[in-house]
Structure 1
Amino acid sequence: MFDGIERRVVSLWFPRLASDRALRLNPIDGPFALTLKENNANRIYCLNAAAEAQGLHKGMTYSDARAFCPDLRSHVAHPPEDQRFLQGLRRWATRYCPWVGLEGEDGLVLDITGSTHLFGGEGAMLAQMRNRLARAGMTVRIGLGDTRGAAWALARHGEGIAPAGAMLDAIGSLPVAALRLGAETSVALQRLGIRKVRELAATPRAPLTRRFGPAALMRLDQALGDQPEEISPQAEPPHYGVRLTLPEPIGLIGDVMAGIQGLLGQLCPKLQAQEVGARRLCVTLGRVDRDSQQVELRLARPLHDPHRILPLFERGLKDLDAGFGIERLRLEATVVEPLPARQINHVSAGRKDKLDDLISRLGTRVGLENIQRFLPADSHIPERSFIISPAAYSEPVRHWCPARPRPVVLFAPEPIAGRTPHPPQRFRWRRMALTTGRAIGPERICPEWWLEDEAWRSGLRDYWRVETQEGRRLWLFFTPQAPGWFVQGEFA
């Protein structure tokens, strides 16, 4: 009961959620399926009606599906994208009622109590839902009842509207699996001859409880309304935006910075409460002439400290055109990342904070992507033993020790004279005459056969560390399959 009104619940089930989403982006005529790798085998994850008509079903291997249906077209499934799409459907469903929650990975549940009259009754509301979803290319099955369990059962095993107060009559003819029971429990009940919900309701409760526990009868009572079951609406994601309306227009950069300082004082506590930090901030400056300007700040690390964020806005405000004055300020954290509380050392934390702030300041001038650092990579090939990554989106590796010494400077191989397997005693390199003083090696490095690399098609290499009498410490290699010597690096 809700203030004397019978509670009414709608269940929306999208049996082809993933394939419908994929076909909305790239329409395909004929059999279509999404595949997902499970236990080292590609299996059907979701398929359209044309593929089901060919005898295909969810869970079968992709090779078997192609044998049954040679014309089958497929794409790789992306479950995270499907869940984001389901969240979009949830937001759309709030047009019918404010209480909308997720029902598993492919359904929604709505508490429409007291809102059906706004759409001309229950039948008209469900018809509007179905028509709108059909125009969007979505396959949906809808059930409506007094309880969440009854609506779920109707959506997945019958469809339709259950009259108020008659849940057993509406779902009594449905299989026991409609009560949201586990597969093992449903099979065990069927082996006992209990195949319908009505038969389960008529069976003595004590023997069922001793054999199956209280879960089976609890689901039955929830579906019939004898036990309450709440519907928790999905919480809206927090919005990290604040605004300020000024009593008088301003035009000085100092006044704008003071306004941003006040907005940061409101925004940063919200970020701290959610244990997130801002990676991108946007300030919108509304002018008196109804025009507006935006200043965007991208940070090297997530932050929620107003004292560190405020000075970083100065450069972006230098080119500010206030016009006849600024009367509105709006600050929004457009990109946030988790920033949980952590135990820090005051010395190391201070140094790291200064480096992050420096990267942020330089990033406002040249772009964060242009400030890069070298990181080690898992490869014994010299050219592949490192990667270049943006410093703002990576962490330095402080305790990395290669198995063998590597030169500080690495360049493309440069040939020198010599064809014997031992390093030449005298050779010329970059117009310099050098004499070998000490040579350490060889270190044989073989190509990575699983990669196509033009530079290593000639085969293996024998590397030597050569210290010359002139003071140069070079990294040389010899190619046995095509005798020749090359210089590829220099040690410090």
Structure 2
Amino acid sequence: MLDGMQRRVVSLWFPRLASDRVLRQRPIDGPFVLTLKQRNANRIYCLNTDAARQGLRLGMPYADARAFCPDLQSHKAKPEQDQRFLSMLRRWATRYCPWVGQEDNDGLVMDITGAAHLFGGEEAMLNDMRTRLLRAGLSVQVGCADTRGAAWALAHYAEGIAPNGAALTALKSLPVAALRIEDSMSVALQRLGLRHIGDLAQAPRAPLSRRFGPDLLLRLDQALEAQPEAITPQAEPPHYAVRLTLPDPIGLVTDVMAGAERLLVQLCKKLKMQEMGVRKLCMTLRRVDQGYQQVELRLARALRDPQRILSLFERRLAEVDAGFGIDQLRLEATQVESVPVQQICHVTDGDKNSLEDLISRLGTRVGLENIQRFLPAESHIPERSFIIAAAAYSEPSDAWIRANLRPITLFPPEPIAGSGARPPERFRWRRIPLTTGRATGPERIAPEWWLDDENWRSGLRDYWQVETTQGRRLWLFYTPQNPGWFVQGEFA
């Protein structure tokens, strides 16, 4: 706060933040609500003014709302997108003052001390805020006072501006719920006849403290400026981008690589300070004819080693058309991940780094998603004992632990002729006549009852390892419920 200036706080409340966000993108006429599953039922999470006029309210079951309002339209709520939108509004509000923080999930709080005169006074500033937000399709209620609690109370219960040093005068007629207390506490105070903030301010403090604890009086003192309450502005997330403007245009690959190396050193230094690593990089090369080219690099692992990243960039930068010359390079980390500091030891994992670099190089040609690896899965069903995952987004696992040997090659079951519970002595598979030399088994595998797998509806399977005299080592199984023999795999 500036010396000699009375602190002034503005509270912005967006009562329909979630529905306004959706309706800005896709306007809908008539009653509209957003629903969210709460307490084992779809309930109204947010609603527009038309729905409120129909008698609908927050927390109401959606089935009851449809009974009240047959023409009701709805979408599923997405609270995470609402918070991102509120964060965007917080950044927008910094045009009025630098101290802007979030208030719950639907409001902003601003310390405008010493900034109101830049907009023609507090009333002009608040009118400008309200006008711009209404023009953007957002419902907003604004309050201004000496304290954060008083500004919040005015924004939620009586829009307006409280004069300097007159917080009690502005709040005395407001309900006690305006002190940001719990609903149960508000109901208990009203039963005692303390319905308004003015009544509470005149009541003896000792009985209130004994009955309701220190929180009630703390909220009252914060609203009336007897206790301080800080406003903590949210820090801007780090921006991982660097730029190099050249005095003379360049066009040789060696010059572009030298510029990229300088940018990578600066970027990786910033990443190391934040204990982050980059997964996706985008380099923009501006030409003297005002055209530009973008080179994107996706990495198999999060890195912050400039030399390793530079070697992966070389092939992509060699394909750049410099035209009449490049006069600016801009490098941005568009996707980052946490890479905490690790203990240094004398043992290096060079093979792992080489594999990751190879995956990155191949990924620039065929796509990282197309380079896959097999990982073990918790299932005794042969088809479900592994999963296929992108190598760039998964870690190699330990070897499969199985009590019985499994074939290298698996394929859908192929029927063969045979009878009885033991492997047939002679059979034909893929038009090849085979003779059983040695058979090991059976290994009985039961279907997983909690999964509806059409391939296992025949029931139990008795698996056998069969070595033929022709040299083929096959994996056969027999189905006792519906007698039949099948080949499902081949050993190396």
CA distance in 1: counterparts of 2:45 and 2:458, whole angstroms? 44
Secondary structure in 1 aligned to 2:58? coil
Find the counterpart in structure 2 of residue 302 from structure 1: 302
Amino acid at match of 1:169: T
String of CA shifts for 1:65-101, please: whole Å, max 9, x gaps: 4444444433332221111111111122222222211
1:427 to partner: Cα distance: 0.8
**Pair 1:446 & 2:447 matched:** yes
Amino acid at match of 1:45: Y
- 416-425 or 10-19: which moved more? 416-425
The 5-angstrom pairing of residues 51-62 of structure 1 reads 51-62=51-62
1:378 to partner: Cα distance: 4.5
Secondary structure in 1 aligned to 2:475? strand
Secondary structure in 2 aligned to 1:337? strand
Contact 1:465 1:473 in 2 (8 A): no
Find the counterpart in structure 2 of residue 97 from structure 1: 97
CA distance in 1: counterparts of 2:399 and 2:201, whole angstroms? 66
Contact 1:444 1:460 in 2 (8 A): no
What TM-score results when the alignment is normalised by the length of structure 2?
0.91
Find the counterpart in structure 1 of residue 286 from structure 2: 286
Find the counterpart in structure 1 of residue 32 from structure 2: 32
Find the counterpart in structure 2 of residue 376 from structure 1: 376
Contact 1:475 1:491 in 2 (8 A): yes
1:218 to partner: Cα distance: 2.3
CA distance in 2: counterparts of 1:292 and 1:406, whole angstroms? 55
Q: 1:328 to 1:121 in 2, by over 3 A?
A: same
CA distance in 2: counterparts of 1:351 and 1:48, whole angstroms? 59
CA distance in 1: counterparts of 2:144 and 2:218, whole angstroms? 20
Find the counterpart in structure 2 of residue 86 from structure 1: 86
Contact 1:18 1:77 in 2 (8 A): yes
The 5-angstrom pairing of residues 86-485 of structure 1 reads 86-343=86-343, 347=347, 349-402=349-402, 405-436=405-436, 437-446=438-447, 451=452, 455-456=455-456, 459-470=458-469, 471-480=471-480, 482-485=482-485
String of CA shifts for 1:33-70, please: whole Å, max 9, x gaps: 32323343333322333333333332333344444444
Contact 1:287 1:322 in 2 (8 A): yes
**CA RMSD between the two structures:** 2.6
Contact 2:411 2:488 in 1 (8 A): yes
Gapped runs of 5+ residues in structure 2? none
Q: 1:454 to 1:230 in 2, by over 3 A?
A: same
Amino acid at match of 2:468: Q
CA distance in 1: counterparts of 2:347 and 2:441, whole angstroms? 41
Contact 1:447 1:459 in 2 (8 A): no
Contact 1:300 1:359 in 2 (8 A): yes
Amino acid at match of 1:100: V
- 55-64 or 309-318: which moved more? 55-64
Contact 1:423 1:439 in 2 (8 A): no
Secondary structure in 2 aligned to 1:247? strand
Amino acid at match of 1:170: A
CA distance in 1: counterparts of 2:163 and 2:476, whole angstroms? 86
1:466 to partner: Cα distance: 2.5
Contact 2:462 2:479 in 1 (8 A): no
Q: 1:309 to 1:124 in 2, by over 3 A?
A: same
CA distance in 2: counterparts of 1:490 and 1:201, whole angstroms? 85
Contact 1:280 1:334 in 2 (8 A): yes
1:296 to partner: Cα distance: 1.5
- 271-280 or 159-168: which moved more? 159-168
Contact 2:423 2:439 in 1 (8 A): no
Gapped runs of 5+ residues in structure 1? none
1:454 to partner: Cα distance: 5.4
Amino acid at match of 2:302: P
String of CA shifts for 1:294-329, please: whole Å, max 9, x gaps: 221111111111122121111111212223333322
Amino acid at match of 1:491: F
- 218-227 or 234-243: which moved more? 218-227
CA distance in 1: counterparts of 2:376 and 2:351, whole angstroms? 23
- 436-445 or 62-71: which moved more? 62-71
1:228 to partner: Cα distance: 2.4
CA distance in 2: counterparts of 1:324 and 1:367, whole angstroms? 31
CA distance in 2: counterparts of 1:64 and 1:344, whole angstroms? 62
1:104 to partner: Cα distance: 0.9
Q: 1:213 to 1:427 in 2, by over 3 A?
A: same
CA distance in 2: counterparts of 1:280 and 1:247, whole angstroms? 28
Q: 1:228 to 1:355 in 2, by over 3 A?
A: same
Contact 1:47 1:58 in 2 (8 A): yes
1:21 to partner: Cα distance: 2.1
- 91-100 or 45-54: which moved more? 45-54
1:109 to partner: Cα distance: 0.9
- 312-321 or 249-258: which moved more? 249-258
Secondary structure in 2 aligned to 1:324? coil
Q: 1:397 to 1:72 in 2, by over 3 A?
A: farther
CA distance in 1: counterparts of 2:101 and 2:137, whole angstroms? 22
Contact 2:176 2:195 in 1 (8 A): yes
Amino acid at match of 2:106: D
CA distance in 2: counterparts of 1:349 and 1:105, whole angstroms? 46
Contact 2:133 2:140 in 1 (8 A): yes
CA distance in 1: counterparts of 2:25 and 2:407, whole angstroms? 50
Secondary structure in 1 aligned to 2:186? helix
Amino acid at match of 2:467: T
Q: 1:212 to 1:350 in 2, by over 3 A?
A: farther
- 64-73 or 136-145: which moved more? 64-73
- 21-30 or 323-332: which moved more? 21-30
Secondary structure in 2 aligned to 1:59? coil
CA distance in 2: counterparts of 1:226 and 1:282, whole angstroms? 53
- Percent sequence identity over matched residues? 67
Contact 1:447 1:460 in 2 (8 A): no
Amino acid at match of 2:442: G
1:192 to partner: Cα distance: 2.8
1:7 to partner: Cα distance: 2.6
Q: 1:72 to 1:406 in 2, by over 3 A?
A: farther
CA distance in 2: counterparts of 1:363 and 1:203, whole angstroms? 72
Amino acid at match of 1:208: L
